[in-house]
C-alpha cells in the first residue's frame, strides 16, 4: 500500500502533466505539505487511510506554534485540500478530511494611500509639457472621482460634463454611475482638451484620454506614467492608479464619515467592500467619541 510520500509524488506528476503547472508552482506545493507528511509520519501516520480531520487540525495547531501567519496557514490548508481531493479521486480516500478544517480568517490589508500634502505635491506638474498636462488631468480625475483604472481609460469625450462637473462612469458589471468632478480636475481637463484638440487636428476620436499615437490610452501607459511621476515628484513607494483611488476614498471618509456615500462614489456593490477604508486613527476616533458621547469626556477641566 502506497505511503503519503509516494502519493505526493504521484500528485505532483498529475499536476505537472494534467494541469501543466510550472515547476516553481510544483515546488511550492511540494514544500507546503512535505514537512507535514514528515510530522505525521513521526506520529505513526503514513498512509492516506489514516488521515482524519482531527489529525489535520493538529497540523494546523502545529503551524501556529511554528509562528506561521494566517495567509501562510491558508496556503498550506489549500494545498492539503487539493492533495486530499486527488487522493479521493484516486480511490485512496473515501472523503476529503481537509474540507472540514476551518481556515483562518485572513485580515484585510488596509490600502496604502497618500496624505493630502503628498497629493498636492504630486499634482504640481509643469504646465509647459503637453504630456505632463495630460498626465495631470488623468491623476486629478483619478483622485477627484475615485475611478478604477479600467473606468478611466474607457472614458469618452462625452462622458464628462465640465459645465456642471459631472462624470458618467461605466464600472464593474457594466453598471453606470454618475460621480461629481472637483474644480481642480475640471481645470486640468480643460487644459488637456486644448492639447488633445491640437494633437488630433481633424482626426475623429471618442476617447477622452489618448496617447501620442492618437488612439485611446492603454492601462499600461497610465500605469507607467503614474510611476514615472511618482519618482519625479519624490513619492515614496510605487504610485499606481489604485493608490489614488484609495486616497480619494480615505480622504472622503475621514472628512465626511458617510460610508454609504463613499460606497456609491466608488461603485462598490457591497458596503463590506467599502468598509476597508474605515481606518481613521485612534486620535480622531477619540476626539469624535469625546465630543459626541454625553459621558465620554475623559479629561477633567479645571
Which triple of cell numbers denotes residue 125?
Answer: 506638474
CA dist., res. 262 & res. 266, Å (int): 6
Residues classed as catalytic = 148, 172, 242, 245, 268, 277
CA dist., res. 200 & res. 191, Å (int): 15
Residue 106 near residue 59 (C-beta atoms within 8 A)? no
Helix axes of 241-256 and 130-145: crossing angle, nearest 10 degrees: 40
- Residue ranges in the chain assigned as alpha helix (H): 4-17, 23-42, 53-65, 70-89, 116-122, 130-145, 149-153, 183-200, 219-232, 241-256, 259-266, 271-274, 282-292
Q: Residue 55: phi, psi to the nearest 5?
A: -65, -45
Amino acid at each position: 500500500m502506497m505511503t503519503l510520500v509516494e502519493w505526493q509524488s504521484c500528485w505532483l506528476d498529475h499536476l505537472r502533466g494534467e494541469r501543466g503547472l510550472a515547476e516553481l508552482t510544483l515546488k511550492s506545493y511540494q514544500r507546503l505539505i512535505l514537512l507535514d507528511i514528515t510530522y505525521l509520519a513521526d506520529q505513526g501516520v503514513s498512509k492516506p487511510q489514516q488521515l482524519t480531520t482531527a489529525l489535520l487540525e493538529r497540523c494546523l495547531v502545529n503551524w501556529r506554534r511554528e509562528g506561521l501567519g494566517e495567509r501562510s496557514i491558508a496556503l498550506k490548508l489549500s494545498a492539503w485540500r487539493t492533495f486530499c481531493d486527488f487522493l479521493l479521486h484516486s480511490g485512496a480516500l473515501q472523503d476529503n478530511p481537509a474540507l472540514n478544517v476551518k481556515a483562518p480568517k485572513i485580515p484585510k490589508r488596509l490600502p496604502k494611500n497618500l496624505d493630502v500634502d503628498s497629493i498636492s505635491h504630486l499634482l504640481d506638474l509643469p504646465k509647459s509639457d503637453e504630456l505632463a498636462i495630460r498626465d495631470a488631468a488623468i491623476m486629478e480625475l483619478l483622485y477627484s472621482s475615485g475611478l478604477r483604472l479600467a473606468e478611466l481609460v474607457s472614458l469618452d469625450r462625452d462622458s464628462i460634463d465640465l459645465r456642471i462637473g459631472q462624470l458618467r462612469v461605466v464600472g464593474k458589471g457594466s453598471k453606470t454611475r454618475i460621480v461629481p468632478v472637483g474644480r481642480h480636475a475640471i481645470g486640468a481637463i480643460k487644459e488637456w482638451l486644448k492639447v488633445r484638440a491640437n494633437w488630433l487636428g481633424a482626426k475623429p476620436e471618442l476617447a477622452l484620454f489618448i496617447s501620442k499615437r492618437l488612439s485611446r490610452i492603454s492601462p499600461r501607459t497610465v500605469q507607467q506614467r503614474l510611476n514615472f511621476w511618482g519618482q519625479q515628484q519624490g513619492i515614496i513607494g510605487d504610485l499606481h492608479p489604485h493608490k489614488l483611488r484609495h486616497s480619494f476614498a480615505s480622504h472622503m471618509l475621514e472628512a465626511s464619515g458617510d460610508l454609504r456615500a463613499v460606497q456609491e462614489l466608488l461603485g462598490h456593490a457591497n458596503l463590506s467592500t467599502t468598509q476597508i477604508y474605515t481606518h481613521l486613527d485612534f486620535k480622531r476616533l477619540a476626539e469624535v467619541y469625546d465630543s459626541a458621547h454625553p459621558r465620554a469626556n475623559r479629561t477633567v477641566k479645571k
